[in-house]
A and B are shown apart, each in its own frame.
Chain A
Amino acid sequence: MSPIVKKKGEKFTLPGKYLLFILTLLCTGLIVITFNTNFLSEPVSALGGAVIAPLQEGISKAGSWLSTRSRELVQIRSLLEENEKLRAEIDELTMENIRLQQDRYELTNLRELYDLDAQYDEYEKVGARIIARDSGNWFHSFEINKGTEHGLAIDMNVMAGSGLVGRIVDVGPNWSKVMSIIDDNSNTSGMVLSTSDNLIVSGDLRLYAEGVISFEKLIDSADRVVEGDKIVTSNISDKYLPGILIGYISSISVDSNNLTKSGLITPAVDFEHLEEVLVITQLKQPPGGN
């Protein structure tokens, strides 16, 4: 097999084979470099930030407009039906409201107990808008419209509403990439609020559709952790600030080793319809201050 030179002219053309070989070497080099170090990410993300991010910001507005319209269409049909159902639910909810108010007292007590009171308010936060989502279907990371220019840095925690969304893993001048806690390669150190037992919360691609994430390695020999318990980020995590709500336990089971427990958590954040997030501009570990 001889290399096929397509154009014989004054222009020099490289046969595809050699080009493939060279670019393969380049890619392999890039993979090795970026896997081990971080020094390439800055120029590259600056490049992306200059061209792509502003465009994404504009277009994503069109995208969210479309999705809102399509959601509306679907909703109109079921609205009438839903209305009736909702009326019945109001009665139910009134009852539940009373119960929840009691829960709130309990929550206030617990917060005081754990010094969580007004903790979220203490953190400096910056609002940001999601402008693009992962181009593939395998991971659930997304891009927000603020970056180093707005004081953001890698490893800052990202929240939406009252729950944890994830953390910044890559940052450019005017954009940052956020890895969410439901991402398949995300592991978060969590803690059961009521008993302070530590556990590991990990995202799983297979559980996306059900809207839950899994947890494991919960040591609970006294059997005190039950379904519905709140999971917050733990004190021992080196990336996440302590006491941010992750979600609620929706199912729990004993592992086959009879020592640890695992199960599922319903996240406090609705990841499906996320549009705006809050970035906490305080790092758990200040850079260099270990």
Chain B
Amino acid sequence: MRRFIVSVLLIIICFLLQTTVFKGIAFGGIVPNLLIILTASFGFMRGESTGLIIGFFCGFLADIFFGNVLGLNAMIYMYIGYANGKFHRIFYPDDIKLPLCLILFSDLAYGFLYYITLFLMRARFYIRYYFLHIILPEVVYTLLITLLLYPLILWLNKKLEDAEERSARKFV
């Protein structure tokens, strides 16, 4: 229950920040993708199921407000969360290289999937331009923010795990 509330709050806060505050301090009109950080982190920290559920809700929120169709973002985020969950087995909390790499590739994958579904389908073939001006800056900015946000998510997760362990022990 506690985990559920914290997750919901995290998703809402990240979404709010991304659509309001970060739009105000965007460098060159590019905002970092906090929702990807959240989805990917939960994926490799908690496993496939959590990753895909968090991804689904992150994407769904983006769809409600800014999607042309409902469910497209939800699907992309969900698959990214699921794919990150595959790395749960080789994830160690002390290691920051793997999370950074995973978030980098997640954001890249998100950019490409989004391009394919919403731009390539409308016969916009300037992938080189989009890569250099949209996808790449977003990835770099996202990675920078990851360095700040990721330790926070990690800390929260650890706190939650500790609390869960304590209450589990109480019942035994």
Contact = CB atoms under 8 A, between A and B. Distances in A.
A132 B134 contact: no
B52 A20 contact: yes
Contacts of A48: 61, 64-65
| Interface hub of B19, B22, B25, B48 (most chain A Cβ within 10 A) | B19
A56 B75 CA distance: 24
B74 interface: yes
Contacts of A175: 65
B138 A137 contact: yes
A209 B74 CA distance: 28
A138 B130 CA distance: 9
Interface in B94-130: 114-115, 118-119, 122, 124, 126, 129-130
Contacts of B66: 134-136, 139, 141, 143, 177
Contact of A135 (B53, B56, B62, B82): B62
A63 interface: yes
Contacts, number: 160
Given A28-B71, A64-B24, A132 B19 contact: yes
Contacts of A205: 119, 124, 130, 134
A208 B137 CA distance: 15
Most chain A CB neighbours (cut-off 10 Å) among B49, B82, B119, B130: B49
A30 B119 CA distance: 20
Contact of A47 (B22, B30, B64, B126): B64
Question: From DSSP, what is the main secondary structure of chain B's interface residues?
Answer: helix
B70 A44 contact: yes
What is the predominant secondary structure among interface residues of chain A facing chain B? Answer: helix
Contacts of A141: 66
A136 B70 CA distance: 15
Interface residues of A, number: 58
Interface stretch (B10-18, B146-154, B155-163): B10-18
Contacts of A65: 24
Given A19-B52, A20-B82, A138-B114, A35 B29 contact: no
B78 A30 contact: no
B23 A132 contact: yes
A59 B21 contact: yes
A27 B74 contact: yes
B65 A177 contact: yes
B167 interface: no
B20 A206 contact: no
A4 B159 CA distance: 26
B18 to A, nearest CB: 5
A13 B46 CA distance: 14
Interface string A11-45: 00111110110011011111101110000110011
B47 A137 contact: no
B47 A6 contact: yes
A60 interface: yes
A185 interface: yes
A159 interface: no
Interface string B1-43: 0000000000010011111111111001111010100000000
Given A138-B119, A209-B133, A27 B65 contact: no
B16 to A, nearest CB: 5
A199 interface: no
A185 B129 contact: no
Contacts of A88: none
Contacts of B129: 206
Nearest 3 CB-CB pairings of A with B: A16-B48, A30-B71, A63-B24
17 contacts: A16-B48, A20-B78, A27-B74, A28-B71, A31-B70, A52-B12, A60-B19, A62-B20, A63-B22, A70-B25, A135-B19, A135-B62, A138-B115, A138-B119, A177-B65, A206-B126, A206-B130
Interface of A: 6, 13-17, 19-20, 23-24, 26-31, 33-35, 40-41, 44-45, 47-48, 51-52, 55-56, 59-60, 62-67, 70, 131-139, 141, 143, 175, 177, 184-185, 205-206, 208-209, 272
